[in-house]
RNA sequence: GGCGCUGUAGCCAAGCUGGUAAGGCAGCAGACUGCAAAUCUGCCAUCCCCCGGUUCGAAUCCGGGCAGCGCCUCCA
């Protein structure tokens, strides 16, 4: 079964056919590091992380490149406000970015190039464009790309030049021959970081850095280029123009990246989460309140191309769901090991002694990811397997060796499937305690106080004073604490 | 104005290279429980924004609307 991807360039799904069989070059547009990362970053990098993991699981050798944009107007502005060196400020926030992505369980890319480390490559690329007549230096220190020299300009974003003309504007001091032309190199202004170039001291324009870095690390033509859908225009549109003209065939977008993946937005109340709207949450803020793995599960609950709303409600739902998954895993481990027979419970059980957490699960999940990385579908498939596993665990009586083996297989499959999604890799017991304490914290509950009340209730139960025992339970329940009396004692969790 | 995306049960969300609606949350009933919680079982969209069309057959294809959002300025 081939891997199908939705390609923005063609607007449809098609088979992923690597340029070099068995190998995939993937470039993810990285963050501009001038502040802490927000949920939008979390969303896309978790998604690309799953893409990389899945392609690797399918036997492809993926070279994963993700840049840091560390030379940029916003960085310079922020650094100026703080009296800090721009490159140093960017380096600091790159470290913070790593901390967030590590917490979210994202694998580090194979290469993480920075603009500041690729100035010679950028200058060379611009020089090539000037030499070939695709770019010009009007003498004010800037270099511009001649949009009209590239016949396919705007193809990725479905724009034509006349449409664009209406919205085009030229900033004061620019010397564009055509309002649609864009800067490849910007002449240095006082106080800005600067590097020498044939056109005078200056710094790269916004788009050229990605063209230079993909070329250096993945070659002139490579397989997949990813980013947020807000980058389709102008960033990716301009990247294609530069790269195709400098080192491609000068005609076709495919001679740069062969396919483009774009992710949808994280929204708040149906509006795009963005800094300019001020309606954003940093990853840090969210992780103060929720387990990172819960956030990850939440982010994978919607297909990557779609927008979705962020809310406390849905996020806590995801975290509770994560708790269910780990509880099931813990139970399956325990029963499979033959320890502590499951509580004598359970309703109707199918004639075969419980639906098998079946052998087709792994294959079906793989097929779902093969189809344009359909993570929500995988979660649905997982749900059915977990229900079946629970049913098997809850069967009355001692488990047969076959049943135990089936549960062991389930736990194995679940963990293996989780690995490709970056989920379910932790020890269940410890994770469940962490989830519980998080939830307790959000409710403003004091763990020690709850434990104390629980001890009182145990004493009451021992004395068969059920009235008192129930009163305590109801009181705790009113606070959102659910008590579970089981064969191995009493545990609790936060609803 | 141009381009694009989305519209599926109370809510979240798959399906959309056509064949008679995954999954989750909430809700209801049942099993289990001293009572609960958890877990499991059953129920829960004659219908997929609206109107036409193609077809033996459409949530899925085509045409026309309506609504929301996004890009066209920095942005994942």
Cβ(A194)–Cβ(A200) under 8 Å?
A: no
What pLDDT does A353 receive?
A: 36
- Is pLDDT larger for residue A146 or for residue A489? A146
Q: What is the pLDDT of residues A402-451, one digit of tens each?
A: 999 999 999 999 999 999 999 999 999 999 999 999 999 888 888 888 88
Dist CA A68 CA A454 (whole Å): 51
pLDDT at A257 over 50: yes
pLDDT at A348 over 70: no
- The SS3 call for residue A287 is helix
Q: Which of A422, A355, A449, A433 is nearest to A102 (CA)?
A: A422
Nucleotide at minimal C1' distance from the A379 CA: B23
Q: What is the pLDDT of residues A446-481, one digit of tens each?
A: 888 888 898 888 888 888 888 888 888 888 888 888
What pLDDT does A1 receive?
A: 64
A161 CB neighbour count, 10 Å cutoff:
13
A263: which DSSP letter? E
Tell me, in Å, how far CA of A487 is from C1' of B9?
39
Cβ(A319)–Cβ(A438) under 8 Å?
A: yes
How many Cα atoms sit within 13 Å of A151 on the Cβ side? 4
Kindly state the average pLDDT of the residues A324-347: 74
Dist CA A212 CA A445 (whole Å): 53
Dist CA A413 CA A151 (whole Å): 50
ipTM of model = 0.95
User: Following CA atoms A72, A238, A233, A151 in sequence, which dihedral angle do they give, to the nearest 10 degrees?
Assistant: 170
pLDDT at A318 over 60: yes
Span of A31-35, A68-72, A371-375, A459-463 with lowest mean pLDDT: A459-463
Dist CA A225 CA A19 (whole Å): 13
Residues in chain A: 495
Nucleotide at minimal C1' distance from the A35 CA: B75
Nucleotide at minimal C1' distance from the A37 CA: B76
**Nucleotides in B strand less than 7 A from protein CB:** 1-6, 12-17, 22-25, 30-41, 68-76
Nucleotide B15's nearest residue (CA vs C1') is A377
Round the average pLDDT of chain A to a whole number and report it.
91
Q: Which of A446, A74, A106, A456 is nearest to A283 (CA)?
A: A106
What pLDDT does A93 receive?
A: 97
Dist CA A473 CA A444 (whole Å): 18
A233: which DSSP letter? I
DSSP for A162-205 reads HHHHHH----TT---SSTT-EEEEEE--TTS--B--TT-SEEE-
A162 conformational bin, left if phi > 0, alpha if psi -120 to 50, beta if neither? alpha
Which residue matches tokens 């004091």? Answer: A446
Q: What does residue A178 show for φ and ψ, rounded to 5 degrees?
A: -135, 135
Tell me, in Å, how far CA of A293 is from C1' of B28?
33
Which helix (H) or strand (E) segment holds residue A309: the answer is: strand A308-309
Kindly state the average pLDDT of the residues A24-43: 96
Q: Which of A316, A290, A181 is nearest to A242 (CA)?
A: A181
Tell me, in Å, how far CA of A380 is from C1' of B23?
4
Measure Cα distances from A281 to A58, A242, A277, A278, A313 in Å.
Answer: 34, 34, 12, 9, 15
- Is pLDDT larger for residue A476 or for residue A293? A293
pLDDT at A354 over 70: no
Confidence of residue A350 (pLDDT cuts 50, 70, 90): very low
pLDDT at A343 over 90: no
Nucleotide at minimal C1' distance from the A275 CA: B75
What pLDDT does A347 receive?
A: 34
What pLDDT does A351 receive?
A: 33
Tell me, in Å, how far CA of A372 is from C1' of B55?
29
Quote the strand ranges of A58-178, DSSP E.
61-66, 135-136, 143-145
Tell me, in Å, how far CA of A285 is from C1' of B75?
20
């Amino acid at each position: 079964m081939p891997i199908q991807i939705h390609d923005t360039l063609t607007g449809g799904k098609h088979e992923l056919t690597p340029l070099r069989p068995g190998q995939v070059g993937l470039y993810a547009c990285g963050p501009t590091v001038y502040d802490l990362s927000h949920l939008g970053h979390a969303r896309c990098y978790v998604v690309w992380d799953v893409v990389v993991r899945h392609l690797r699981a399918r036997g492809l050798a993926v070279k994963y490149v993700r840049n840091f944009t560390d030379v940029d107007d916003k960085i310079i502005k922020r650094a100026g406000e703080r009296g800090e060196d721009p490159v140093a400020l960017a380096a600091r926030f790159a470290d913070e970015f790593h901390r967030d992505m590590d917490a979210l369980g994202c694998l580090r890319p194979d290469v993480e190039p920075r603009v500041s480390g690729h100035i010679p490559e950028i200058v060379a690329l611009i020089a090539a464009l000037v030499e070939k007549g695709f770019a010009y230096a009007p003498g004010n220190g800037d270099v511009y790309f001649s949009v009209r020299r590239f016949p396919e300009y705007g193809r990725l974003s479905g724009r034509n030049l006349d449409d664009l003309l209406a919205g085009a504007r030229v900033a004061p001091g620019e010397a564009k021959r055509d309002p649609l032309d864009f800067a490849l190199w910007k002449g240095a202004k006082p106080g800005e970081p600067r590097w020498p170039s044939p056109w005078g001291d200056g710094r790269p324009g916004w788009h050229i850095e990605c063209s230079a870095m993909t070329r250096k690390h993945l070659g002139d033509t490579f397989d997949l280029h990813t980013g947020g859908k807000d980058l389709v225009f102008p960033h990716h549109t301009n990247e294609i123009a530069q790269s195709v003209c400098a080192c491609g065939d000068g005609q076709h977008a495919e001679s740069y990246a062969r396919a483009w993946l774009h992710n949808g937005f994280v929204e708040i109340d149906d509006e795009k989460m963005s800094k300019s709207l001020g309606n954003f949450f940093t990853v840090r803020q969210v992780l103060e309140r929720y387990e990172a793995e819960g956030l990850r599960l939440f982010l994978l609950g919607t297909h990557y191309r779609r927008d979705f709303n962020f809310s406390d409600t849905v996020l806590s739902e995801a975290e509770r769901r994560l708790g269910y998954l780990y509880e099931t895993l813990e139970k399956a481990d325990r029963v499979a090991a033959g320890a502590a027979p499951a509580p004598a419970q359970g309703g109707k059980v199918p004639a075969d002694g419980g639906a098998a957490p079946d052998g087709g699960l792994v294959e079906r999940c793989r097929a779902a990811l093969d189809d344009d990385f359909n993570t929500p579908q995988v979660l649905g498939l997982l749900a059915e397997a977990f229900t079946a596993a629970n049913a098997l665990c809850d069967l009355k009586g001692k488990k047969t060796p076959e049943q135990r083996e089936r549960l062991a297989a389930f736990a194995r499959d679940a963990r293996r499937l989780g690995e490709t999604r970056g989920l379910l890799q932790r020890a269940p017991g410890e994770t469940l305690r962490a989830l519980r304490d998080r939830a307790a914290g959000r409710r403003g509950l004091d763990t020690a106080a709850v434990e104390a009340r629980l001890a009182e209730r145990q004493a009451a139960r021992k004395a068969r004073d059920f009235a008192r025992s129930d009163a305590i339970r109801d009181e705790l329940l009113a606070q959102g604490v659910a008590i579970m009396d089981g064969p191995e004692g009493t545990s609790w969790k936060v609803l």
